[in-house]
Chains A and B, each alone.
Chain A
Amino acid sequence: MTATDRIARFLFAFYMVAFFVYLFAPLVIMGAATFNTSRFPTVTPWQGTTLQWFNELWNDRAMWQSVWTSMVIAFFVVLIALPVGTAAALILTSLHARARGFLYALMVSPLLTPGVVIGIATLVLWRQLGVGGGVFLIVVAQASFIICYVMLMVAARLQRFDRTQEEAALGLGASKVMVFRRILLPFLKPALIAAAFLAILQSVENYNTTLFVRGFDTPLTVFIATKVRTGLTPAVNALALIMIAITVIGAIAYEVARRRQAAAAAQRAA
């Protein structure tokens, strides 16, 4: 091993450490600040260890109200985005190349539109119709781009669909509706579940679009951002910590399940 190799190796190791510190330090510090008695969330100086912020979180009616608002929004976004995104993917795969290119560009355009612009456009249209900001407009504005994600995920799965299954079902006397319900939908189910997850995530985490169409309603992201101005306490950190914990547990469970499945598959193949 030459000296330059050794230097390169060292630099790469340094980079990797720095990268993952950069990635996780914010989470660790945010979590740790939950246990500091300091009113402003921080870890320096450490003023004493406490669990009082969980208590405060528990009693924060406004915070729970905003969590509820976010959940309601996410529910309706999923309700709209799944059927529309699926329909869009099905139409796309049934079109000829030329028309498909144009429609595809139109369908992914919301992904290439800045979030604030989506919020503004939705706001001005609905004001013209006499509807102001609020949960309804948040759902409409978020769904308009979350549908794209659903469409892409469903379309990706559709590409692996064996159309002779549809023909086989038709040949056995099934109606087209039955073919859709019994053959195509069950095939799409994994993609639909994943898309629903992603849609919920996108909906709950959205801020840029939501900010413009929220009216007087306050979903979680808006609530937290407002708190920064009006007096942030580690109760927010407690909430974040709970979310991180759920995520990490979920991620580990997912990885364990994946490995177990892979092992089972390997065993079956052997």
Chain B
Amino acid sequence: MSHSVELHKVGMTFGATRAVGDVSFNVEGGEFFSILGPSGCGKTTILRMIAGFLQPTEGRITIGGKDMAGLGPNQRPTAMIFQSLALFPLMPVWENIAFGLEARGASKAERRSKADELLKLIALEGYGDRMPGELSGGQRQRVAIARALAVEPQVLLLDEPLSALDLKLRQHMRAELRALQKRTGVTFIYITHDQSEALAMSDRIAVMSAGVLQQVGAPRELYDNPATPFVATFVGETNVVAGKATAVEAGIATVETGLGTMRGRAGPGVAAGQAVRLYVRPEALVPGGKGDNTLSATVERIDFEGAFALAHGRLADGSAMVASISSTDLGGAPAIGGSATFGFDTRHAVVLPDG
């Protein structure tokens, strides 16, 4: 089976600025694929290149095995949902939804029946004759999705479509989007700067930073096996200890740090004698010092979050540390102001080259 969307060494330069460089990845058919990164990392540029609003200055983009070079957005099997939604304010909802069919020369009756069908799919039956301005935020969102699905695209491109909604609605729409994607089987490429959104919804995620692709992988894989320091710190919370690798054996690196010797799984490119950093998730730190490695810290405060509490502390070298303690274990929590020891297993720590 051919990949749904394929990017091969794609680059984009605006004048003297290189917005995106040498990006390659494949998106499988029917996949929910996210591109995650802070604003300005080039993720929107990539989306606009796939959609055809921008032509890449280097490399090649294929969709369904077909090279897209030179094709405009109206000639590609993609549909895009914009951050602002860009509903047409002067057309009733049904005309909005059927706009793509109008562009393809469908008759009015055909357009109306397809619009009604889609309105049913998004649970807005009977809203066809309203104007977009009369709808709530969530309803407008769904209309934008229906409008994009109406043209039966191979690939649906979503540019942070949930960012304008409030938290509760956003969480609701996440589930709805995910369900819709499974039901329709359309490939989704989803842009977001919100890592929890990406982790919750995606089959796979591409992480971008400063125009460079950092890593592509399933959410668990990114979280557990970050390939670069950027991914390690951007996806989820983490603690960092700097040091020098003294040995790498059977995938385990031994690191000499200012806080003692520690061991963790060696990430790609780690070799003995190298300056490295060791990353440990807050939930891997266990108070009381059980585990292969230990860290001592002065506990400054404990923030109770419900299911768990976050213990914020300071390490001997002055850097900050955070450990997550399950609510059920709070009895054994360290005292505030006192010194405490946290332990972690070697398999829960990752060592990556510095820089």
Contact = CB atoms under 8 A, between A and B. Distances in A.
Interface of A: 162, 164-165, 167-175, 178, 182-183, 186-187
B88 interface: yes
B109 to A, nearest CB: 19
Contacts of A168: 80, 82, 86-88
Contact of A172 (B52, B79, B84, B91): B79
* Chain B interface size range: 20 to 34
Contacts of A170: 53, 72-74
26 contacts: A162-B84, A164-B84, A165-B88, A167-B80, A167-B82, A167-B86, A168-B82, A168-B88, A169-B103, A170-B74, A171-B51, A171-B52, A172-B79, A172-B150, A173-B74, A173-B100, A173-B103, A173-B151, A174-B103, A178-B102, A182-B91, A182-B99, A182-B102, A183-B88, A186-B91, A187-B90
Contacts of A165: 86, 88
Contacts of A173: 74, 100, 103-104, 151
A168 B53 CA distance: 10
B206 interface: no
A167 B104 CA distance: 16
B148 interface: yes
Contacts of A186: 90-91
B53 A167 contact: yes
B147 interface: yes
B78 interface: yes
A131 B103 CA distance: 46
B73 A175 contact: no
Given A162-B86, A164-B86, A183-B88, A171 B80 contact: yes
Query: Which of A170, A183, A186 counts the most B-chain CB atoms under 10 A from its CB?
Result: A170
Interface of B: 51-53, 72-74, 78-80, 82, 84, 86-88, 90-91, 99-100, 102-104, 147-148, 150-151
Nearest to B95: A182
A172 B100 contact: yes
B145 to A, nearest CB: 13
A182 B99 CA distance: 9
A44 B150 CA distance: 75
B86 A172 contact: no
Contacts of B103: 169, 172-175, 178
Given A170-B74, A172-B148, 7 more contacts: A168-B87, A171-B51, A171-B80, A173-B74, A174-B74, A174-B102, A182-B91
Contacts of B82: 164, 167-168
Contacts of B102: 174, 178, 182
Contacts of B88: 165, 168-169, 182-183
Contacts of A171: 51-53, 73-74, 78-80
Query: Which of A162, A171, A182 counts the most B-chain CB atoms under 10 A from its CB?
Result: A171
Contacts of B52: 171
B232 to A, nearest CB: 35
A227 B104 CA distance: 61
A111 to B, nearest CB: 31
Contact of B147 (A162, A167, A172): A172
Contacts of A187: 90
A172 B90 contact: no
Contacts of A169: 88, 99, 103
A173 B147 CA distance: 12
A170 to B, nearest CB: 4
A203 B343 CA distance: 87
A219 to B, nearest CB: 37
A42 to B, nearest CB: 53
Query: Which of B72, B84, B99 counts the most A-chain CB atoms under 10 A from its CB?
Result: B99
B146 to A, nearest CB: 12
A174 B51 CA distance: 14
Nearest to B147: A172
B98 to A, nearest CB: 10
A169 B52 CA distance: 13
Query: Which of B74, B147, B150 counts the most A-chain CB atoms under 10 A from its CB?
Result: B74
A22 B56 CA distance: 66
Give the top 9 A-B pairs by smallest Cβ distance, nearest first.
A172-B100, A168-B86, A174-B103, A164-B86, A173-B103, A171-B80, A170-B73, A171-B73, A186-B90
